[in-house]
Amino acid sequence: MDELILRILDKGVRAPSSHNSQPWRFVIEDHTVNVYADHSRQLVVSDPMARELYASVGCALENMRIAAAYEGYRAVIEFMPQDGSGAAARVSFERAERVDSDAYHAIEVRHTNRKPFVGQLSDADCRYLERLPVEKGVEVAWLTGPSAKRRLLMLSEQANEIQLEDPKYRAELEGWLRYNAGEENRHHDGITHEVMGYPPAPHWLGRLMAGASLKASVVNELDEQRISTSNTFAAIAVTEDNPVSWMRAGMTMERYALEATGRKLAYGFLNSMCQVPEIADAARMHFRLGTATPVVILRFGIGKPCATTPRRPLREVAVTETRRHAGVPR
C-alpha cells in the first residue's frame, strides 16, 4: 500500500501552486495520508488570507483523486479532520473500478502558460469546459467577447500598478525567482529563468534583469498580449470564504486545467485581480458573481509548448508516521 500511496503522491505534487511555492506536506499513516498546508511557504503579501495556499493544496488533492482512480481506488477526502492533527485534509482509499482518464495522463504534461496564445477555443471546447462538474460551495462564472477583455485588461492593469508599487510585494515575488540551474537544483521550486524568458545568469545579474521587468508598464504590456489572445475567461469563486472552500476551489481549478490539457488547450492565470481587495470586488461584479469571493481567474486558448517548473522530490515533502516520530519534521 505504501508504494501505491507514493505513486499517488508523485502525481499530487505535480499540481500547480502560486509562484510554484508547493505549500504542502504529506504524512502517510495506516494507509491514509494526512495533507498539511505548509504556511512557511505562504505568500503573506499577495495572499495574506492564504486563499491561494489552500487552493494549491486543493489542486494536489484533485491530482491524488485522479491518480487513485487510475490505480483502482476511490480517494475519500475528509477536510479539516477534527482530531488534533492540524491537517488540512485526510485522504483514505477504498477499492473501486479502475478509471484510466485523459485527466490522469494530463498530470505529467500540464503546465501554466504565461505566454500569449496563438489560437482560441472553439465553441465545442468552451461548452465542454463549462459543463465540467464543480465542487460543493464553488461557483464558476465565464466571460467571452471584446467588451469582457477590455474590462479585464483595465482591472489587471490597476492591480499590477498597485502591487508593483509595493516594495514588499516585489521582494516577495523576487524571493521565488530562480535565475540559473544551480538555484533551480538547490530549491526545486519557484519560477525559473526559462519560464520568465530570461537567459541563465548569476544571481546578482538575474536580480537586475528582474528589476527591469517587474514594472507595471512592462507587466501591463504582457497582460495586454495575454488577454487579447484569449477568448474565454473563468472566475472560480467560493460562497463561503474559508479554507475548506478554498481547497474545493483548487480542486475545481485543477479539473479545468487537466481537462483543458487533455484537449490540447492551454490555460494561464490572471490572479492579480483577486489579490488586491478593491480590484477583487470589481472583478466579482464584472463576472456577476453576486456575493461569492473570487479565488482564481483563468484564461484559456491555444498555446505553444513552454517551459515548465521543477518540483521538490517526494522525500522532502512526504514522510511516514514512523519517520515523523523519529525526528523528521512535520
pLDDT at 127: 96
246 shares a domain with 136 = yes
Residue 66's H or E segment, with its range, is helix 51-70
Predicted local distance difference test score (pLDDT) of residue 325: 45
Q: Is residue 306 part of a domain?
A: no
CATH number at residue 12: 3.40.109.10
- Residue 127: give the domain boundaries: 123-301
Domain count across the chain? 2
Both 6 and 50 in a single domain? Answer: yes
Whether 247 maps to a domain, the answer reads: yes
Residues 155 and 224 in one domain: yes
Rounded Cα–Cα distance for residues 217 and 212 (Å): 10
Angstrom distance (rounded) from CA 94 to CA 1 = 12
Within this chain, do residues 75 and 144 fall inside the same structural domain, yes or no?
A: no
Closest CA to 240 of 92, 135, 126, 128: 135
> Is 117 domain-assigned?
no
- Per-residue pLDDT of the chain in tens (330 residues, 90 and over written 9): 689 999 999 999 999 999 999 999 999 998 899 999 999 999 999 999 999 999 999 999 999 999 999 999 999 999 999 888 899 999 999 999 999 999 999 999 999 999 999 999 999 999 999 999 999 999 999 999 899 999 999 999 999 999 999 999 999 999 999 999 999 999 999 999 999 989 999 999 999 999 999 999 999 999 999 999 999 999 999 999 999 999 999 999 999 999 999 999 999 999 999 999 999 999 999 999 999 999 999 999 999 989 899 999 999 999 987 545 444 334
> Nearest 5°: CA angle at 236, between 277 and 232?
105
